[in-house]
Structure 1
């Protein structure tokens, strides 16, 4: 199993490094292996609230950050719960928040998790296997063809979504990652497979993972929660790995960075003051050296915003 390499490490540290390390607080909402948190603690962050839905990530990060002792507090759960977790520590505001929305290498490389078609494994794909909820297998074998097609199109932008869904229904029951990958490959036209450099099941696996974990809903909900937790001048950094996530984050940031003033006589328009400023108007991507060293970083995009003074 390959070691997980945090993406855009230098760029994240540059964006979130505290001006003054005294009592500086970071929420790492997706701590994973703890790489970003370790780097930021080394750069002067005084205390970290490390959150992850994956129990194994909490265990791995605990080992990676053990040297920092009581400076790191762990919370097993969703980043949606960051406000309650912060309040439990007595934190009313924080200096920085990081959300790295990608899968870690140990999740992808663990056959039992069912995230990858490189292994033959049960169709699970849940980030938190202790949490009740549908697995990918439940969706694949329980939904109607039109419902599956909607998931593949909406969350995977899969152009052959209907063909794939019909073939899956025809071949059910489908219980393993290999069976699903083969069903998708059977459905995709040969010409499309020849033109593409990626496995035909890539978008379907992405779509199912997003649906199982309700990822886009969580991202949309957490942004205003995170902004509300930041002190004035505090920063939120979000790393995305596919266009759906990045588009959602971009639109949310743009909305919160824009003031709305009602014209005279238009009282029905709700006025709103901008609560953030965009630190980088265009997303930051890995340079060629990082992409060569860590091919999984290729699709990563980093967006950073800063909390403005409260009105």
Structure 2
């Protein structure tokens, strides 16, 4: 069990205030984590309300099993599986993206360059390939592309070359410390206050968990899942995620007119953008990991 690894939920009250429109609704928490949002959500619902949660992480699912509430259920799945829920069955959908503090702080999970641990980074440790396994076989061009595209790292090629050279000389990387040290040697300059390994670790984590692809699938599923006036609330923590969410909401918040038939009725908008919220200065001071969070809120139209 991982009870010693604590997690502070970001934008807790703001998210639930934006999400809940009626106490008897069905709400979906697509990223249960350690249940901060879900617990507050349940406290705002009446006897007829219910919450369905999803999470890839078996440790999160184990924590959810402790939540003894007949209105609550948990699914050991990523939020790409939102498509399995009935259309127009959700009053609200919450997605709190990224990784949780227990995942970062537990060295055994291999997410952090600050702690020595196995180079894993899988959110679901019961399936799939670890970062170490992928790096042991990936070609130089593949590694460079992942680090560049998902980490926005301008030293992606030197880092990839260093990884491949290390593999050829001394065998594959096995630990977070080995990777962090190797990246530090390949990255010549870095933004003040940022560890040289930050972008590379982010990139490999996003890639190995297919985070951006799954986010795009989940957002599309939300259009069918939400009932009219149902709320979509998404909290992201880096620009790649937020860009996808922002563009998705914008794309479905405007009426589309076919230029070939300008007098034909336009395709009606499916969402109405409601808000963009950032953590308060007080929240960031209390929880520095909240500093990059952005919450976007939209409402499903009746179209």
Q: Which runs of 5+ in 1 are unaligned?
A: none
> Shift of residue 196 of structure 1?
2.5
> Shift of residue 167 of structure 1?
1.0
> Shift of residue 298 of structure 1?
0.8
| 2:64 is equivalent to residue 61 of structure 1 | yes
Report the number of matched residues: 294
Describe the superposition over 1:210-239 as per-residue Cα deviations: whole angstroms up to 9, x where unpaired.
110110000111112012111100001001
> Shift of residue 43 of structure 1?
1.6
> Shift of residue 92 of structure 1?
4.9
* Contact persistence 2:88–2:224 (CA under 8 A): no
Could you tell me which residue of structure 2 aligns to residue 75 of structure 1? Answer: 75
Could you tell me which residue of structure 1 aligns to residue 166 of structure 2? Answer: 171
Scaled by the length of structure 2, the TM-score of the pair is: 0.92
Could you tell me which residue of structure 2 aligns to residue 4 of structure 1? Answer: 7
User: Aligned with 1:142: secondary structure?
Assistant: coil
Structure-2 separation of matches of 1:34 and 1:259: 37
> Shift of residue 102 of structure 1?
2.1
Query: What CA RMSD, in Å, does the superposition of the two structures yield over aligned residues?
Result: 1.8
* Contact persistence 1:126–1:209 (CA under 8 A): yes
Structure-1 separation of matches of 2:251 and 2:39: 32
* Contact persistence 2:107–2:115 (CA under 8 A): yes
> Shift of residue 299 of structure 1?
0.7
* Contact persistence 1:151–1:207 (CA under 8 A): yes
2:143 to 148, 154, 162: 148
1:162 to 157, 162, 185: 157
User: Aligned with 2:70: secondary structure?
Assistant: helix
Residues 231-250 of structure 1 correspond to what in structure 2 (within 5 A)?
231-250=227-246
Could you tell me which residue of structure 1 aligns to residue 287 of structure 2? Answer: 294
User: Aligned with 1:178: secondary structure?
Assistant: helix
> Shift of residue 197 of structure 1?
0.9
Describe the superposition over 1:49-96 as per-residue Cα deviations: whole angstroms up to 9, x where unpaired.
011011110111232x32xx2100111111111232x34xxx851100
Could you tell me which residue of structure 2 aligns to residue 50 of structure 1? Answer: 53
Q: Which runs of 5+ in 2 are unaligned?
A: none
| 2:217 is equivalent to residue 221 of structure 1 | yes
- Relative distance call for 1:204 and 1:10 in structure 2 (3 A) is same
- Relative distance call for 1:12 and 1:265 in structure 2 (3 A) is closer
| 2:122 is equivalent to residue 126 of structure 1 | yes
Structure-2 separation of matches of 1:232 and 1:241: 28
Scaled by the length of structure 1, the TM-score of the pair is: 0.90
> Shift of residue 255 of structure 1?
0.6
Name the one with the larger helix percent. Answer: 1
Structure-1 separation of matches of 2:226 and 2:262: 32
Moved beyond 4 Å, runs of 4+: 264-267
User: Aligned with 2:95: secondary structure?
Assistant: strand
Structure-1 separation of matches of 2:261 and 2:284: 54
* Contact persistence 1:12–1:237 (CA under 8 A): yes
| 2:105 is equivalent to residue 109 of structure 1 | yes
